[in-house]
Amino acid sequence: MTTRLRRFRRAAREEAERLEEPVREAAALARKLGLDPYPVNYWVVDYDEMNQLIAYGGFQRRYPHWRWGMTYDRQQKQDQFGMGKAFEIVNNDDPSHAFLQESNTLADQKAVITHVEAHADFFRNNEWFSRFSGDNDLDAAAMLERHAETIQRYVDDSDIDREAVERFVDAVTCLEDTIDQHRPLSADPDTGRTQPEDLRERLDGMDLSAAVREAVFDDEWLDGLAEAEAAAADLDHPRSDVLGFLREHATVYDEEAGEAVEMESWQKDVLDLLRREAYYFAPQKMTKTMNEGWAAFWESLMMGEERFAGEDEFLTYADHQSRVLGSPGMNPYKLGKELWEYVENTTNRREVADKLLRVEGITWRNFHDAVDFERVQSLLEPPAAIDTVRSDTLDDLAALPEDDPRVDWEALDRALSDPDAVDIDRYPWKVLTYEGLAERHFSLLKPQYCGFLRRIRRSELEQLSRYMFDDEKYASVEEAIDDVDKTAGWNRMREVRRSHNDVTFVDAFLSPEFVEENHYFTYEYTRATGDFRVASTDHADVKKKLLLQFTNFGKPTIAVFDDNFENRGELLLGHRYNGIMLDIGEARDVLERIHELWGRPVNLMTIRKEFDEHEVEVARRRNREPEPTEAGVRIRYDGDSFDEFELEPELEERIQASDVDYDTKPEEWLS
């Protein structure tokens, strides 16, 4: 056992030494490209350690729970049967920690390192992430470790039943996505309620005779009033941070006593910790596509175009990349990367068009005729000295004017005076600046985008020129192109990376061309044939369906509508219905667990689509889709059994979101 460990450790150490230079240089290159990553600590781990880290979400210590064991088990089997191996995992922390699989080839390792640097940049600069820590230091590993210790302590505590802790964690985990992820954790939890004063208390103080009280303010009337007021006070402001609400107001169900009792301090503590973790992990779920796309974009630029992969590694890398980007289905790497490329290209195109429209004689009306696109293309080409940087071409760079912003003069001086200090043939980017690199990699010059400028729409040109005052700034196309800011695309990408999340990102940048080129389509279930069928290939529909899958982590939105429903202390949750039904079976299972956290009966309002069996049969025979009826229901669980009630119309109205429609079924379905 010890020898085996030592051998592994030696292998890991050797691997670590081999990676020192790529790690250093990748971080430097990333910064040159305008990225601003957290410092990253890299660790080389073997496959088993990797599986463990994956199970723990990228950290070395988490609180005890069987769920990690389950993920580990799954990961291990996946690994074993060759169904997918993890190359790396990186966590959102300052500094970030990245773990590399020991058995990766050097090309894989380099790819992974460049990928990780981009993730670390994203973690640091995306606002959704910075909301969690605010101005405080983000020390995620330490936080999670503290949580682990605390919960472990409760598990080990002989006064607390181990199973009870586990069950409590289970119950809270079921709700980990029902938080208000758009508000920072540190903000005041929006969980308070303004309880209307019960008139009874005032009457008590008024010293009325019993006879008057009974005649004027009988109990029925008082109850009715209190109920109406409580309902009015509470229903106008549903809280989506269900976990936070429970933390503030919940009691728990005590099986022995058979009633609701105060939460014990360990329970409050565990609920707090788990809620904090839910908020910590939420940004990663909210930006998965953007973040993976971002990492894939910069990885590809560094590895491929900036040749961070050595000549001999390039094929291995190309294979690695095609496996990651090529897997079918909705692949966040591919979707994200292409959206980023779209942001880059459209910004660059706009920049070039903006300059061209300022040339005398070019207007949005004659743009496509007046502009010689091939000439523009060749004018955009970087000068040879920037385009080709080798140790034997450095003199060409040196010949550029001394204030040329594209050259890193300091590095160039060093390279010229001591050729051994800077390995220019390996790292040509070292003698260039951000501007120089942006020019080298200007996207409109890439062969796959050479027609992109020409394809600009008239409407966009018109919009650009609408408020353009100095539209005769340049006498010639040369002058105009000379003024093009080649960093525009990358600058814009960094702005987008700062403020967007997956929902806004897809909404803003998913283009019709993208949907078409990638043969995306939506599918829906049809009851006529009992299977899933292609429903639409229209880009607006595809976007709609994608947005459904990104909004609120792709989960239905549930909020607390009342914590004193019908004045009986019952919890009333509402599913904000957007046309897509809940999985009611699962929802009932969740209610059972919420009951444990609430202690009293819990209610869920939702809307169910019901199909008449006979109509389905008729529809089936006639090959058309049956029309569902939408029925508002309130499902109540009292700790023992479920009841279902018809939903009062005014409540039904409150959970209906009638302005959205995620259904993409065609009118003439299957006909």
Partner 1 sequence: MGLREDLERFREVGEERREDLESFIRYGDLSGSNSDEIEIPIKVVDLPEFKYDQLDRGGVGQGQGGTPDVGQPVGQPQPQPGDGDGDGDEDGEPGEEGGEHGYYEMDPEEFAEELDEELGLDLEPKGKEVIEEIEGDFTDVTRTGPNSTLDFERLFKQGLKRKLATDFDEEFVREAMRVAGETPESVYRWCRAENILVSLPWIESEWDKIPDDERGRWDSFGEMTDNVERSTAVQRIRRRGLREIPFRRDDERYRHPEIEEKKQKNVVVVNIRDVSGSMRETKRELVERTFTPLDWYLQGKYDNAEFVYIAHDADAWEVDREEFFGIRSGGGTRISSAYELAKQVLEEQYPWAEWNRYVFAAGDSENSSNDTTERVIPLMRDIPANRHAYVETQPGGTAINATHAEEVDRAFADDGDVVVASVGSPEDVTDAIYEILQPASAKAKAETS
Sign of CA dihedral 445, 449, 450, 451: negative
Residue from the set 138, 546, 572, 602 that interacts with partner 1 by CB under 8 A: 546
The reply on whether position 221 binds partner 1 by CB under 8 A is no
Minimum separation from the CB atom of position 151 to partner 1 (A): 10
Is the distance from CB of 288 to CB of 502 less than 8 angstroms? yes
Q: Residue 657 and residue 644: Cα distance in Å, rounded?
A: 22
Is residue 629 packed enough to be buried (19+ CB in 10 Å), middle (13-18) or exposed (0-12)?
exposed
The piece of 25-33, 400-408, 526-534, 564-572 that touches partner 1 (CB under 8 A) is 526-534
Of 390 and 609, which CB lies nearer to partner 1 in the complex structure? 609
User: What track of x and - describes contact with partner 1 for positions 475 through 504 (by CB under 8 A)?
Assistant: ---------------------------x--
The reply on whether position 667 binds partner 1 by CB under 8 A is no
The reply on whether position 537 binds partner 1 by CB under 8 A is yes
Residues 281-310 that bind partner 1 (CB under 8 A): 281, 284-285, 288-289, 291-292
Of 291 and 443, which CB lies nearer to partner 1 in the complex structure? 291
Of 101 and 443, which CB lies nearer to partner 1 in the complex structure? 101
Residues 623-652 that bind partner 1 (CB under 8 A): none
Is residue 209 packed enough to be buried (19+ CB in 10 Å), middle (13-18) or exposed (0-12)?
exposed
Please name the residues in contact with 348: beta carbons below 8 A apart, sequence gap of 6 or more: 442, 443, 444, 486, 488, 489
Strand order across the 557-565 sheet? 557-565, 570-576, 602-610, 629-637, 642-646
Minimum separation from the CB atom of position 494 to partner 1 (A): 20
The reply on whether position 260 binds partner 1 by CB under 8 A is no
User: What track of x and - describes contact with partner 1 for positions 159 through 198 (by CB under 8 A)?
Assistant: -------x---x--xxxxxx--------------------
Minimum separation from the CB atom of position 567 to partner 1 (A): 26
Of 233 and 581, which CB lies nearer to partner 1 in the complex structure? 581
Q: Phi then psi for 642, rounded to 5 degrees?
A: -100, 145
The reply on whether position 84 binds partner 1 by CB under 8 A is yes
Tokens representing 306? 């900036």
Residues 566-625 that bind partner 1 (CB under 8 A): 575, 580-584, 586-587, 589-590, 593, 609, 613, 616-617, 621
Q: Residue 417 and residue 201: Cα distance in Å, rounded?
A: 89
Q: Where are the beta strands (DSSP E) in 255-353?
A: 259-262
Residues 11-40 that bind partner 1 (CB under 8 A): none
Residues 101-160 that bind partner 1 (CB under 8 A): 115, 119, 148, 152
Please name the residues in contact with 629: beta carbons below 8 A apart, sequence gap of 6 or more: 609, 610, 612
Residue from the set 333, 427, 598, 637 that interacts with partner 1 by CB under 8 A: 333
Residues in binding contact with partner 1, number by CB under 8 A: 110
The reply on whether position 88 binds partner 1 by CB under 8 A is yes
List 251's β-bridge partners, or say none: 262
Residue from the set 392, 410, 531, 640 that interacts with partner 1 by CB under 8 A: 531
Is the distance from CB of 295 to CB of 122 less than 8 angstroms? yes
Of 480 and 558, which CB lies nearer to partner 1 in the complex structure? 558
DSSP designation for 661 = -
Tokens representing 223? 């109850």
Of 54 and 571, which CB lies nearer to partner 1 in the complex structure? 54
Q: Where are the beta strands (DSSP E) in 14-166?
A: 40-45, 88-90, 96-101
List 575's β-bridge partners, or say none: 558
DSSP designation for 304 = I
Minimum separation from the CB atom of position 427 to partner 1 (A): 25
Q: What is the dihedral of CA 531, 325, 502, 354, to 10 degrees?
A: -120
Minimum separation from the CB atom of position 539 to partner 1 (A): 11
Is the distance from CB of 196 to CB of 230 less than 8 angstroms? yes
* The one-letter amino acid at 76: Q
Q: Tokens 């080129």 correspond to what residue?
A: 517
Residue from the set 370, 475, 534, 540 that interacts with partner 1 by CB under 8 A: 534
Tokens representing 449? 């985008």
Of 67 and 458, which CB lies nearer to partner 1 in the complex structure? 67
Is residue 257 packed enough to be buried (19+ CB in 10 Å), middle (13-18) or exposed (0-12)?
exposed
The piece of 26-34, 322-330, 393-401, 408-416 that touches partner 1 (CB under 8 A) is 322-330
The reply on whether position 55 binds partner 1 by CB under 8 A is yes
Residue from the set 97, 350, 355, 545 that interacts with partner 1 by CB under 8 A: 545
Residues 504-523 that bind partner 1 (CB under 8 A): 516, 518-523
Of 484 and 571, which CB lies nearer to partner 1 in the complex structure? 571
The reply on whether position 332 binds partner 1 by CB under 8 A is yes
